[in-house]
Amino acid sequence: MDCRDVDERLEEAHLEFLPPAERQEIREHLEGCATCREGMKRVDEVERLLRRAGEEPVAVSGDEIKAGLERARSLAGPRLAWVKVLPLAVAGLFFGAILLWFLAGPAGKDWGTELTYRMLLPDSSESEAGRLAPEVKRVLERRLKDVGFGSSEIAFEGDLVRIKVPGAAAKDVAPIKRVLKRVGHLQLRPAADWKIQDQYKSDGLVPEGYEAFENPHPQSTGEYGPWSPKLLVHKKSVIEGRHIIKAEPQQTMGIRGEEWVTAFELDAEGAVLFDQAAKELYYRRPRGILAILMDGVLRSAPIVVTESLHGTGQISGAKSEEDAKDLAIILMSGGLPVPLGREVEGVKSPGEPESERPYGPGK
């Protein structure tokens, strides 16, 4: 069974309309085909949208319903086989959504959750907070939209950031806070060459222009032994988050089996810089290491095995699909110009809100 056969049968297989033997063939094909696995995920997404349309109508905001319809249309559009099963389902979603939207009315914006953060500025002057506020707002709006709450309201009071998320119940707050708490500064930096790394291994002295990090993939022996347990990384970045034009979670087969990664694509400038760095690292002996850092934390340190990366790469180290998705959202929104968090008696806690409270009738 090839991809075309599977593509035409995904919906029937998902709904168990096919004989067991055909479903087994499809399962076997999906195990070795990432493209078709993605297709099955899209079928799952439409089913999730249909289920959600019938649950807790007051919690569904207008923006969320419209976004769901757009997702359903975009998923159904490219596939000929959807004509067989999903038109009635999509129509049901459409009319159900209209009804829910009508019943919810203004109540969709009358209740929700309000989160308050503080911009953790080195200089807490109001002028500095005012200067950074537009960029903070842009980044937060993009992240909130990508987790399904595009109608959120963001207001500033000095260094305080107040975020009202209409329709966000207690169960929705955790994923929102996960994407708001990270600054989101991506850096790709070359690791030290063998001579510098071996000297550091001997004397423990970090040379000027470098930083030392725990190696996420240590090797106690072999040609990469000197880079363990710590590796030296240039302070100067080759690629930064501003070069990212696309990011998405993907499941790949790694050294330890299947793992979730965040794949990314760079703009034209970033692709040229990336290939220049890759070529230099590729011709080192042993081949060079490219360190990938997020908010100053080393996420992965792959060995460069080709002299041209064609403007694409991936970040490993995700604990789950959820973690990889969160990172993709953060990469696409860009980095915050300042950390958000709380400050209690002079102690700054990045990522933790100053306050979190429900609002609305009876709250």
Higher pLDDT, 333 or 71: 333
Residues 29 and 125 in one domain: no
Residues 100 and 115 in one domain: no
For residues 117 and 340, give the distance between their C-alpha atoms in angstroms, rounded to a whole number.
6
Domain boundary among 106, 138, 171: 106
Number of continuous H segments (helices) and E segments (strands) in the chain: 10, 15
Residues 93 and 140 in one domain: no
Q: Identify the weakest region by mean pLDDT among 123-132, 143-152, 315-324.
A: 123-132
- φ/ψ of residue 7, rounded to 5: -60, -40
Can you list the alpha helix ranges (DSSP code H) found in the chain?
3-14, 20-32, 34-53, 62-76, 82-104, 126-146, 170-180, 194-203, 268-282, 321-333
DSSP string for 56-101: -GGG--HHHHHHHHHHHHHHHTT-TTHHHHHHHHHHHHHHHHHHHH
Alpha carbon 313 to its chain centroid, in Å, reads 14
Residue pLDDT, tens place only, 1-23:
677 776 766 656 554 556 667 77
Q: What is the mean pLDDT of residues 247-263?
A: 88
**Cβ(68)–Cβ(148) under 8 Å?**
no
The C-alpha R_g of the chain, in whole angstroms, comes to: 24
Residues 145 and 246 in one domain: no
- Residue 336 neighbours by CB distance under 10 Å: 23
Q: What percentage of the chain has pLDDT greater than the value 90?
A: 56
Cα distances (Å, whole numbers) of residue 42 to 39, 69, 95, 290, 331: 5, 13, 21, 33, 22
Determine the structural domain holding residue 350 and report its residue range. 110-182+336-359
What CATH number does residue 128 fall under? 3.30.70.3400
- List beta partners, residue 289: 303
Q: Of the candidates 129, 136, 186, 122, which has an alpha carbon nearest to the alpha carbon of residue 337? A: 136
DSSP state of 243: G
Domain boundary among 106, 124, 152: 106
pLDDT for position 343: 82
Residue pLDDT, tens place only, 190-207:
999 999 999 999 999 999
pLDDT for position 166: 93
Residues 247 and 288 in one domain: yes
The number of distinct structural domains making up the chain is: 3
Residues 260 and 195 in one domain: yes
pLDDT for position 124: 64
* Average pLDDT over all residues of the chain: 82
Residues 269 and 305 in one domain: yes
What CATH number does residue 292 fall under? 3.30.1360.200
Buried/exposed code over 262-286 (b: 16+ C-beta within 10 A; e: otherwise): bbbbbeeebbebbbebbeebbeeee
Q: What is the mean pLDDT of residues 138-154?
A: 95
If DSSP codes are grouped into helix, strand and coil, which group holds residue 236?
coil
Residues 138 and 87 in one domain: no
Domain boundary among 48, 77, 106: 106
Higher pLDDT, 163 or 96: 163
What's the pLDDT band for 216 if we cut at 50, 70, 90? Answer: confident
If DSSP codes are grouped into helix, strand and coil, which group holds residue 261?
strand
pLDDT for position 190: 97
Residues 193 and 327 in one domain: yes
DSSP state of 287: P
Residues 67 and 31 in one domain: yes
Q: Of the candidates 150, 139, 148, 301, which has an alpha carbon nearest to the alpha carbon of residue 216? A: 301
Higher pLDDT, 61 or 360: 360
Residues 10 and 72 in one domain: yes
For residues 147 and 142, give the distance between their C-alpha atoms in angstroms, rounded to a whole number.
9
Residues 117 and 219 in one domain: no
